Each structure stands twice: as C-alpha cells, then as structure tokens.
Amino acid sequence: MKPLITKYRYLVALSFLDVQEPLSKGDQIVDDFRITNNKELARQWLKRDLVDAVGGLESLALLDADVLVYHEGVREGGASTAPASGELRMLLEVTAVFTTALWMVKDNAVNFELGFLEVWPPDDR
C-alpha cells in the first residue's frame, strides 16, 4: 500500500527588513525555507480558500509585505500523523531563529506577526 502524502505551504511576512535586489524564487535560509521579495509569489499562493481562512486584512498584509519567508513541503502519513498546529509552531520557531540571527548583521527591528500554514489532504492539488 502506497503511503499517504500530505502537502503543505507556510507563508509569513517580515517587517522592518529592506531587500533591494529582486530575489525571484528567493534565497535559501535553511533547508527549504526561503526569503523573497517577489510579490507575485504571494499572489500565486493566496487562492480564494486561503484568503477566506486568513481574512482580508491578513491577506492584504501578505500581499503588501516587502519580504516573505516561505516553505513548501510534503510529509508521509497523511494529515492525521501530526496536528497542523504543531507543524505551524515548528515553522514559526525556524522563522524566529532566522530573525534572531539577523541581529548579528542588522539590528533587532526585524520581526513578524502571523504565519500561515495551508495543508491539503493526501492526493489533493
């Protein structure tokens, strides 16, 4: 029997970070985490279902953000192997480590508020 595969996407806007050069697909932070200033990426990811789930104001904040951190992934075992809240917490912690590391090169102003995790059932999308 083939294992169930669950797909997910994580997206969070960073505040107080100015990146001048276009990053297109983004620069890799760690593993498959990327940072980008490509506004088209946010437009591609913010489909109607996600906009309805996060709300209009948060969707606009993501679309207007100067810099985004994002991550796409898959996991075996389906949606029931781990709650999405635990997955989101881990992804937010990775983002927090990144913003803390920026203190070494910038200052402690870089921050983020909300991160969003979109999870699809196995064999969907």
Tens digit of pLDDT for each residue in 55-97?
888 888 888 888 999 998 877 765 554 567 788 898 999 999 9
For the chain, the domain total comes to 1
C-alpha of 29 from chain center: 12
Domain, as residue range, for 87? 5-120
Predicted local confidence at residue 52, as pLDDT:
84
pTM here is 0.80
Predicted local confidence at residue 92, as pLDDT:
93
The answer as to whether 70 is a domain residue is yes
35-54 burial string, b = 16+ CB within 10 Å, else e?
bbbbeebbeebbeeebeeeb
The answer as to whether 125 is a domain residue is no
DSSP 110: -
